[in-house]
Amino acid sequence: MSDAASRQAFTERLRAEGARYHDRHPFHERMHRGELSRDEIRRWVLNRYYYQTRVPIKDALILSKSSDPAFRRRWIHRIVDHDGTGEGDGGLALWLRLAEGVGLDRKRVESLEDVLPAVRFACDAYVSLIREGTLLEAVAASLTEFFAPDLMSKRIAAWEKHYPWVDGETIEYFRTRVTKARRDSGEAIEYVCDHATTPTLEDACVRALRTKTEILWAMLDGIAQSFSSVPTPA
């Protein structure tokens, strides 16, 4: 896709598709209005960790789909961002720090024993989407990152205002994602626009992104609906 107007139109189409998810789920809206209880915050942190653990796995699958060393060199930093370069480093470690900051037991969170079945199912479906799709579709599915910088900025402000019981240092994960997600989404949209060279390929990218938004929505549904029957782990 070389025509600038066509690239812009396709980019806007992808943005419109991704916007169906971010900030619009009632659970996120309640979070940002300061309406979540401590138990709800804790359950979200605990279950979202399972999603975080799937991210480097899906990125490794994406790497395995490409025979281009240049692409792999660009993409591999995503795994390093999450796994770090040593013990206690990287996004997963920051999320566990967040878990401790909201009052959860780090080892219990890390064990994944308390992950809700609906959340596990949704996150595993994301890995399956990446595994079964083409490289182009897999990259397109990651484009929910378009909205992560604004979402994370809003989340930081909301947590600092409404959840003062959470130590500000423990939300460092949110701060790191503001810049990293902007970088990652820029790389991904460039790749998608360069390789979605036909209307059929464009449609495939849009479907992949739509499926990703539905998976994220389903994950939040599972967390929100769990409060009617499942106690929060100690």
pLDDT of res. 88: 79
pTM: 0.90
Side chain identity at 7, as an amino acid letter?
R
Looking at per-residue pLDDT, the higher value among 153 and 107 belongs to 107
Side chain identity at 60, as an amino acid letter?
A
Domains of the chain, each with CATH number or no CATH: 4-225 (1.20.910.10)
| Euclidean distance between CA atoms 161 and 155, whole angstroms | 10
b/e per residue 179-200 (b: at least 16 CB within 10 A): ebbeebbebbbebbbeebeeee
Q: What is the pLDDT of residues 38-65, one digit of tens each?
A: 999 999 999 999 999 999 999 999 999 9
